[in-house]
């Protein structure tokens, strides 16, 4: 007999907290589930950890493998291998609260408007031992507020973006939209894109209760994430998808909204690229294009002025500077700067 819910847990590298993640699933009050562990370029020790769980819970926990490195590819493998009617996602460093599956299963079993269900979350310290903040609610991303500013549906049914470890949905819906887009691999914005495409199918529901414990990144990891050049690349991929989607359907006000989004992301990208070796000239081109895209946003002028001063006066992304200066990859050149996020 097939399980009602498949819990998909991808793991990669040193999945040192995977035991905690799997244990939190096994302690659920709702027990009609299977666990699909998706190995994705993990260490030998992490694979041994996963294998131990499959030995202890044969028939309940399965281990599958995905050769293509990336969050989207790993989650898609989990979707393909799953046997449940519903899917629940959990990152290997997060934990479920005991009633997570029950609450979301009960909710979605009766709610036929929501195509994707999320929930509130508690934020933990990197070691998982301290509560940093309680019951964080999913937010409406700024790009969605801009894009759907004049959309009647959005006013009544906003696009909230839940944390991936709270995703709960019918497997059929995940298959209908083609799963996660692997163009975003290895990671960054694949979850944002997934939520956006699900929103085009129906409502993003949110259980108003904290059902997952989300582990924060330590300072070193957070710094690396902020200055990860792949984040900038993937914003370009996502922007192209937004552009083609709303130009295709001819949404009223789409061009104006896309220019505002482009301006915002050009400025944010410029702020990060300036801190790479050889990045300042590229950064200045992006800032000029940001100003051209949205002349009403005075932050563009402010940033252009500050980047003309000594580096100690430069704006810092999220108040941070990189610990180590990296060389800007060759693909992020003058030609790229002239076409990135182009309307």
What is the model's pLDDT at position 254? 87
Say yes or no: 99 and 247 in one domain. Answer: no
Say yes or no: 162 and 112 in one domain. Answer: yes
Q: Does residue 214 sit in helix, strand or coil?
A: strand
For residues 135 and 24, the answer to whether their CB atoms sit within 8 Å is no
Say yes or no: 40 and 179 in one domain. Answer: yes
Say yes or no: 57 and 122 in one domain. Answer: yes
Say yes or no: 123 and 196 in one domain. Answer: yes
pTM (predicted TM-score):
0.95
| CATH code, domain carrying 150 | 3.90.550.10
Say yes or no: 202 and 269 in one domain. Answer: no
CA dihedral 190, 157, 121, 72 (to 10 degrees): -10
- In angstroms and rounded to an integer, the radius of gyration of the C-alpha atoms of the chain is 21
For residues 316 and 267, the answer to whether their CB atoms sit within 8 Å is no
Number of structural domains found in the chain: 2
Q: H/E element holding 105?
A: helix 100-110
Identify the domain boundary among 167, 197, 216.
216
Identify the domain boundary among 159, 188, 216.
216
Domain limits for position 292: 222-339
Question: One digit per residue, pLDDT tens: the chain, 343 residues?
Answer: 899 999 999 999 999 999 999 999 999 999 999 999 999 999 999 999 999 999 999 999 999 999 999 999 999 999 999 999 999 999 999 999 999 999 999 999 999 899 999 999 999 999 999 999 999 999 999 999 999 998 899 999 999 999 999 999 999 999 999 999 999 999 999 999 999 999 999 999 999 999 999 999 998 888 999 999 999 999 999 999 999 988 776 666 788 999 999 999 999 999 999 999 999 999 999 999 999 999 999 999 999 999 999 999 999 999 998 988 999 999 999 999 999 999 8
Identify the domain boundary among 216, 247, 269.
216
Say yes or no: 229 and 171 in one domain. Answer: no
What is the model's pLDDT at position 252? 67
Say yes or no: 79 and 165 in one domain. Answer: yes
**Closest listed residue to residue 202, CA positions, set 178, 169, 180, 242:** 169
Distance CA 334, CA 142 (A): 28
Say yes or no: 175 and 84 in one domain. Answer: yes
Say yes or no: 248 and 110 in one domain. Answer: no
What is the model's pLDDT at position 246? 84
Say yes or no: 156 and 259 in one domain. Answer: no
Report residue 327: phi and psi, to 5°: -75, 135
Say yes or no: 312 and 329 in one domain. Answer: yes
DSSP 325: -
């Amino acid at each position: 007999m097939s399980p009602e819910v498949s819990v998909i847990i991808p793991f990669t590298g040193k999945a040192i907290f995977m035991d905690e993640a799997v244990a939190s699933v096994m302690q659920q009050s709702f027990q009609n589930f299977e666990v699909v562990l998706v190995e994705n370029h993990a260490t030998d020790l992490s694979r041994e950890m996963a294998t131990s769980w499959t030995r202890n819970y044969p028939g309940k926990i399965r281990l599958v493998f995905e050769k293509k490195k990336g969050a989207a590819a790993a989650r898609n493998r989990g979707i393909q291998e799953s046997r449940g009617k519903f899917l629940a996602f959990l990152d290997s460093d997060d934990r479920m609260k005991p009633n997570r599956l029950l609450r979301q299963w009960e909710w979605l079993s009766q709610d036929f408007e929501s195509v994707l269900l999320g929930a509130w979350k508690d934020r933990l310290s990197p070691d998982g031992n301290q509560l940093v903040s309680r019951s964080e609610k999913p937010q409406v991303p700024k790009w969605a507020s801009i894009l759907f500013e004049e959309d009647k549906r959005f006013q009544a049914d906003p696009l909230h973006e839940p944390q991936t470890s709270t995703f709960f949905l019918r497997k059929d819906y995940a298959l209908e939209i083609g799963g996660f887009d692997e163009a975003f691999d290895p990671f960054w914005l694949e979850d944002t894109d997934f939520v956006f495409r699900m929103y085009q199918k129906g409502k993003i529901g949110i259980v108003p209760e904290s059902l997952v414990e989300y582990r924060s990144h330590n300072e070193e990891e957070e710094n690396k994430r902020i200055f990860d050049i792949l984040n900038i690349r993937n914003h370009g991929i996502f922007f192209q998808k937004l552009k083609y989607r709303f130009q295709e359907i001819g949404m009223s006000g789409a061009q104006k909204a896309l220019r505002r989004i482009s301006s915002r992301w050009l400025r944010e990208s410029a702020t990060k690229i300036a801190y790479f070796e050889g990045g300042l000239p590229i950064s200045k081109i992006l800032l000029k294009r940001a100003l051209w895209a949205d002349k009403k946003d005075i932050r563009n002028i402010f940033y252009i002025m500050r980047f003309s001063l000594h580096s100690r006066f430069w704006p810092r992304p999220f108040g941070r500077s990189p610990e180590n200066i990296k060389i800007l990859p060759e693909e992020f050149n003058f030609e790229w700067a002239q076409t990135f996020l182009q309307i």
